[in-house]
Amino acid sequence: MARAYPDRFIRLADVDEANAQTHEQIDKLRHAIRDLGLRGPYYANRALIMASYANLFDDPVFHPLWEEVRGLRIPVFWEIVGVPDPTDMEHLVREIERLNRWAERWPSIPGVWTHGFAPDLLERLPAPLAQLLRRDQFTIEILYPIHWARTHAYPFPELRPALETLYRHVGRERLIWGSDMPNVERNCAYRQSLDYLQVVTSDWLPSGDLDRMLGLNVLRLLACD
């Protein structure tokens, strides 16, 4: 699909997280970026279960991976959940703390926090999350309907406080919209997953800022503009 529509699809590289520090995996990443034109690695911390969480992503054992990513000058697309229990909010906050420590060690590597933050977590805004949102190094994905539409009706007006919090703490330059297609269509239409953002922000978000969130920011991040 990406080869057929290169102006509409951008590919990311798969990472074997538990073995990402090995020469084999680093060579694979380098080939994906330099030779195949992929734009960055997609990194899911939950995959570290394959090594029983013996090392987590900020462990020095993974420094060779991050050195390579820094050298390639590419962003990391993070999928972070609480480990070992993804349903435990405090475990998630602990991983956010870990990502802050990682960012202190690797400040020149851009990152994208994928899948956004739950509204109740944004309402609490624990200190590690507030710290992460302030980091210019990170872009934050706005992605709600894939989960929210299971139990809430379009256009999801109750998401306004969460969106206002993100806008206030992150700003117009580091927010990007996401749909999680095709999975989102289990709960709502693709068009709804896009239009809700305009509906919920219509009376307070400048249209130019919405344009940034809907495409311009990610194009700039990936040097596609």
Q: Is the pLDDT of residue 153 over 90?
A: yes
Lowest mean pLDDT among 3-12, 29-38, 125-134, 151-160: 3-12
Tell me, yes or no, whether 58 and 137 share the same domain: no
Average pLDDT over residues 100-107: 98
* Alpha helices by DSSP H, 10-159: 23-34, 63-72, 89-105, 119-124, 127-134, 145-148
Average pLDDT over residues 61-73: 98
For residue 90, tell me if it sits in a domain. Answer: no
Tell me, yes or no, whether 59 and 114 share the same domain: no
For residue 93, tell me if it sits in a domain. Answer: no
Tell me, yes or no, whether 74 and 122 share the same domain: no
Tell me, yes or no, whether 203 and 154 share the same domain: yes
pLDDT band for position 102 (cuts 50, 70, 90): very high
Task: Report how many domains make up the chain.
Answer: 2
Average pLDDT over residues 164-186: 97
For residue 103, tell me if it sits in a domain. Answer: no
Tell me, yes or no, whether 132 and 218 share the same domain: yes
Q: Is the pLDDT of residue 2 over 80?
A: no
Q: Is the pLDDT of residue 8 over 80?
A: no
Question: CA 217, CA 122: separation in Å to the nearest integer?
Answer: 22
- Please give the DSSP secondary-structure letter assigned to residue 177: E
Q: Is the pLDDT of residue 225 over 60?
A: no
Which residue, 194, 199, 141, is CA-closest to 170?
141
For residue 104, tell me if it sits in a domain. Answer: no
The enclosing domain of 165 has a CATH number of 3.20.20.140
Q: For helices 160-170 and 190-201, give the axis angle rounded to 10 degrees.
A: 70
The tens digit of pLDDT for each residue in 135-150 reads 999 999 999 999 999 9
Q: Is the pLDDT of residue 119 over 70?
A: yes
Residue 168 belongs to what domain range?
Answer: 110-225
Amino acid identity, position 92: L
Last residue of a domain, one of 45, 69, 84: 84
Last residue of a domain, one of 38, 67, 84: 84
Q: Is the pLDDT of residue 61 over 70?
A: yes
Share of the chain above pLDDT 90, in %: 94
**Contact present, 188 and 155 (Cβ < 8 Å):** no
**Per-residue model confidence (pLDDT) at position 208:** 96
Tell me, yes or no, whether 75 and 159 share the same domain: no
Residue 101 has phi, psi (to 5 degrees) of: -65, -40
Tell me, yes or no, whether 49 and 122 share the same domain: no
Average pLDDT over residues 174-185: 96
Q: Is 122 exposed, middle or buried (0-12, 13-18, 19+ CB in 10 A)?
A: buried
Tell me, yes or no, whether 136 and 211 share the same domain: yes
